[in-house]
Amino acid sequence: MAKHVTLQSADTIKEIVSAVSSASDELSRLSLEIFNNPETRFEEFKACALLSNWLESRGWKVRRGVYGLKTAFEAKFSVLDGGRTVCFNAEYDALPGLGHACGHNLIAISSLASAISLEHVLREHHLPGTIVVMGTPGEESGGGKWIMAKNGAWKEFDACVMTHGMRDFSTPLCLTKASWKVTARFKGLAAHAATAPWKGLNACDAIVHAYAAISMLRQHLEKGSSIQGCILEAGKASNIIPDYAEGLFSIRAPTMQKLEELKSRFEPIFGAAGAATGCSVELDWTALYEDVVSNDTLAEQYRNYMIQHLGMEPEQLPTLEESRVLYDQPGCSDFGSCTYICPGIQAMFSIEATDFPHSIGFREASCGKFAHKEALRAGQANALISLDILTNDEFAEGVKEEFIEAMKNAGRWKE
Ligand SMILES: [Zn+2]
Ligand SMILES: [Zn+2]
């Protein structure tokens, strides 16, 4: 890597930094408004209106309820026609019962910081290119970006970047696993369990059979893959043959290719359990989280700006190689779906929380001054690498080449 090390001029970097600094109070107001009005997946009406109205009032073209989700929006800005397109994702959903314990209010304003500082540069220098802010709801358990991707989002963009807060470390990389959830519903036939059991088809037996077979499969999973699950319903009384049973399962693997392989061994279990018991089965696959295919050229450049111009010490921001070892696959993010459509990164910034995301400690830090400052700094770095995409042909080409290569390796490249 490190082929494309040309950075923006010191003057341009200063412009980006000061555009973000002068919007800091306003961005803090937006962040706290989202934080103090937590809305869970697909119910983020206030946050969607807040952010999209704010961009619209600055002259951005806004469409709401896009790509299959009521609380999604797409805002676009350009000064001149033509040129390349860069996108910043803004998340704003909270966790049930915990509020903004994943800090998505910070992701929203980090992306706004990137967007409006780039807006400033395009206006000042009369540059071509389009900036997009994509409002992406339902990251928590909803797989919102997967739904938006299926409905055509992020096509034709040259890059899409975003950020995420982290407990006490920063990294230019976010490597996550692929995961997929399935609800299995077995239907049998009720009968008196003592008087006429031969007339029944036992749905409880079917799901127990499936659960046992899954437990056997677990021994043969590759490193990094896993299956979790639970039985939600399996009958109501001991003297009735249960005619309905339901279970919820998640499969996880390091990449989409590995996840598809796992799915091909996992899925037939349910048919077999149905056949063994005479029950019918219905599988409902929802909320696919594709793994994040991080673009090293973008991530390397993010680190260059952070260390050379935005005041980060090298030891505060590990190299890509170090990050791969230290922070390998912490969880899942629906941002993965974007990275199978266009090049992208989701850099992580420390918010100095006492605990990991989805905890009270993380929530408390997500509305603090330190987190705000770091969200804006990450936004500045993302603005600069995105400006590189818009103005530096060699850099944009390098990013694209790497993306094409990665998609070919993943079996996902379409000419
Ligand atoms: Zn989360
Ligand atoms: Zn999150």
CA 157 to centroid of ligand 1, rounded, Å:
25
Q: Are both 277 and 361 inside the same structural domain? A: no
Total structural domains within the chain: 2
Question: What is each CA distance from 38 to 107, 124, 390, 408, in whole angstroms?
Answer: 14, 36, 35, 40
* Residue 150's CATH number: 3.40.630.10
Q: Which residues contact 14 (CB under 8 A, 6 or more apart)?
A: none
Chosen domain end from 288, 303, 318: 288
- The neighbouring-strand residues paired with 179 are 252, 289
* Residue 253's CATH number: 3.30.70.360
Q: Are both 157 and 186 inside the same structural domain? A: no
One-letter identity of residue 271: G
Q: Are both 283 and 319 inside the same structural domain? A: no
CA-nearest of 329, 316, 317, 309 to 259 is 329
DSSP string covering 206-221: HHHHHHHHHHHHHTTP
Q: Are both 29 and 113 inside the same structural domain? A: yes
Q: Are both 49 and 138 inside the same structural domain? A: yes
Number of other CB atoms surrounding residue 397 within 10 Å: 12
Q: How confident is the model at residue 100 (pLDDT cuts 50, 70, 90)?
A: very high
Decide: 374 and 350 in contact? Cβ < 8 Å: yes
Segment 91-100 shows an average pLDDT of 97
Chosen domain end from 259, 288, 317: 288
Domain for residue 2, yes or no? Answer: no
Chosen domain end from 288, 323, 353: 288
CA 270 to centroid of ligand 2, rounded, Å:
32
CA 102 to centroid of ligand 1, rounded, Å:
5
Res 1: pLDDT? 46
CA 135 to centroid of ligand 1, rounded, Å:
16
Domain for residue 80, yes or no? Answer: yes
CA 93 to centroid of ligand 1, rounded, Å:
9
The domain of 55 spans 10-176+292-409
CA 151 to centroid of ligand 2, rounded, Å:
22
CA 164 to centroid of ligand 2, rounded, Å:
7
- Mean pLDDT of all residues belonging to the chain: 96
CA–CA distance, 97 with 114 (Å, rounded to integer): 30
Segment 215-242 shows an average pLDDT of 96
Positive/negative CA dihedral, 89, 340, 384, 366: positive
Segment 372-401 shows an average pLDDT of 98
Res 330: pLDDT? 67
Residues bordering ligand 2, an ion, CB closer than 5 Å? 102
CA 141 to centroid of ligand 1, rounded, Å:
8
Using the predicted structure, report yes or no on whether residue 234 has a pLDDT greater than 60.
yes
pLDDT digits (tens, 9 = 90+) for 138-148: 999 999 999 99
Res 77: pLDDT? 98
Q: Are both 76 and 150 inside the same structural domain? A: yes
Q: Which residues contact 10 (CB under 8 A, 6 or more apart)?
A: 309
Q: Are both 233 and 313 inside the same structural domain? A: no
- The neighbouring-strand residues paired with 102 are none
Using the predicted structure, report yes or no on whether residue 7 has a pLDDT greater than 70.
yes
Q: Are both 265 and 296 inside the same structural domain? A: no
Q: Are both 19 and 145 inside the same structural domain? A: yes
CA 38 to centroid of ligand 2, rounded, Å:
13
Res 329: pLDDT? 63
Q: What percent of the chain shows pLDDT beyond 90?
A: 96
Using the predicted structure, report yes or no on whether residue 384 has a pLDDT greater than 80.
yes
CA–CA distance, 70 with 128 (Å, rounded to integer): 31
CA 72 to centroid of ligand 1, rounded, Å:
18
Q: What DSSP designation does 361 have?
A: H
CA 107 to centroid of ligand 2, rounded, Å:
8
pLDDT digits (tens, 9 = 90+) for 12-41: 999 999 999 999 999 999 999 999 999 999
pTM of structure: 0.94
Domain for residue 3, yes or no? Answer: no
Q: Are both 42 and 144 inside the same structural domain? A: yes
Domain for residue 318, yes or no? Answer: yes
Q: Are both 31 and 151 inside the same structural domain? A: yes
Domain for residue 1, yes or no? Answer: no
Q: What percent of the chain shows pLDDT beyond 70?
A: 98
Side-chain-side CA neighbours of 395 within 13 Å: the count stands at 23
CA 99 to centroid of ligand 2, rounded, Å:
12
Q: Are both 243 and 314 inside the same structural domain? A: no
Domain for residue 132, yes or no? Answer: yes
CA 347 to centroid of ligand 1, rounded, Å:
15
Task: Kindly tell me the burial class for residue 82, based on how many C-beta atoms sit within 10 Å of its own C-beta (0-12, 13-18, 19 or more).
Answer: exposed
